[in-house]
Amino acid sequence: MDINKGLIAIGAGLAVMAGMMTGLGEGMAAAHACDAIGKNPEAESKIRSNMILGIALSETVAIYGLLVSILLMFVYPNL
Amino acid sequence: MTVQSDVYVIILITILLGIGIILLSKKLKKTDPLKKPTGILVPVLWAIDIVHRNVVNNVGEKTADILTPYILVLWVYIFFANTISLFGLSSPTANLSVTLLLAFLTWLLIQITELKYQGLGGYMHGFLEPLAVMLPMNIVGKFSIMISMSVRLFGNILCGGIMMQLVYGATQALSNAIASVLGAKGGVFNFIGPIIAPVLHAYFDLFAGFIQTLVFVTLTMVLIGNDIPEDVRNGIA
């Protein structure tokens, strides 16, 4: 039983690694949005809403990883 | 039948917000619209004005009149629900049922906007774009908005709560260890927790709660605005 718990924990850790590259991508998106605001500050509100849209869409991957790991930790052991 | 403890917090929040909004609207009705607002009405009117301008930027003047009340409700409810964990209660938004309902309302509004501006034929034809083979993908894509929006809010708030529990557990263990070195027996008061927890509460509850509210609201506005034709948004048609 104990080794099963350990394997579940490893699986949950691996699932949450989906957030690794997402963090990199979101950082790049925010950096480019800052560049764009620096180039034309009057378009700030448009750039901001587009940046949030793009970041939110790419964040979906990390959220799915998080969901899988939450399911693994709290739902799967009780099946 | 067991009732989740979140249900009581949801009812409490609804009652508090209901009383607050009824009192505010009574006060608002009594005031003279031609005079300068005073007291609590100044920040309220300022916030409503900012939100309304933001909505107009995204969906245009025509739709904004209908959409602004919904956006205001989202702002007040989600932000209040995210920050109620500062008072030691569990946030309702850490419960998937609540966020799923909020995301479902947004999804419904998106579908209504699409039906209104594309017609039933255009809406149905949207499933076959760009090729008929993409039909299953498009059906999944329609519903993925609902799932991703609800799970984003839920996951962020839930993880903030779990982090704070881990921090309190770790500081409890640390203070027990320090106390046992000093010669005390058994568990002691968690005296390290109150030193480092406030900063983390400010981040996980206030900052993350605000950012997640902003993201939810902005996504609602942008996704609805995307389905409105450019001419209608700019007020030409």
Flag if B219 and A67 touch (Cβ within 8 Å).
Answer: no
CA B74 to centroid of chain Cα atoms = 6
Burial class (CB in 10 A: 0-12, 13-18, 19+), B163: middle
A71 DSSP assignment: I
Stated pTM of the model: 0.85
Query: Using DSSP, how many helices (H) and how many strands (E) does chain B show?
Result: 8, 0
Give the pLDDT means over successive 10-residue stretches in chain B (237 positions): 83 93 89 80 89 89 88 92 87 89 94 90 84 86 88 87 88 88 78 86 88 90 87 73
pLDDT higher than 80, residue A1: no
Which ranges of B31-125 does DSSP label H, i.e. alpha helix?
A: 41-59, 61-83, 96-125
Q: What is the pLDDT of residues A3-61, one digit of tens each?
A: 888 899 999 999 989 888 899 999 999 999 999 999 999 988 888 888 888 888 788 88
Residue in B155, B158, B215 nearest the CB of A52: B215
Task: Give, in order, the Cα–Cα distances in Å from B188 to each of B128, B145, B167, B177, B182.
Answer: 65, 48, 16, 9, 12
Nearest Cβ partner for B218 among A49, A59, A64: A49
The answer to whether the CB atoms of A67 and B151 lie below 8 A apart is yes
In the prediction, which pLDDT does B22 show?
93
Comparing alpha-carbon positions, the chain B residue that sits nearest to A61 is: B148
Task: Tell me what ipTM this predicted complex has.
Answer: 0.74
Sequence-separated (6 or more) residues with CB below 8 Å from residue A43:
A36, A37
Among the partner-chain residues B57, B148, B218, the one whose CB lies closest to the CB of A52 is: B218
Best mutation target among A16, A44, A46, A49 (most B Cβ atoms within 10 Å) is A49
Long-range pairs for A21-28: beta carbons < 8 A, 24 or more residues apart: A22/A58, A22/A59, A22/A61, A22/A62, A23/A62, A25/A58, A26/A55, A26/A58, A26/A59
DSSP B202: I
Instruction: Quote the minimal CA–CA distance from A63 to chain B in Å.
Output: 6
Nearest CA in chain B to A55: B215
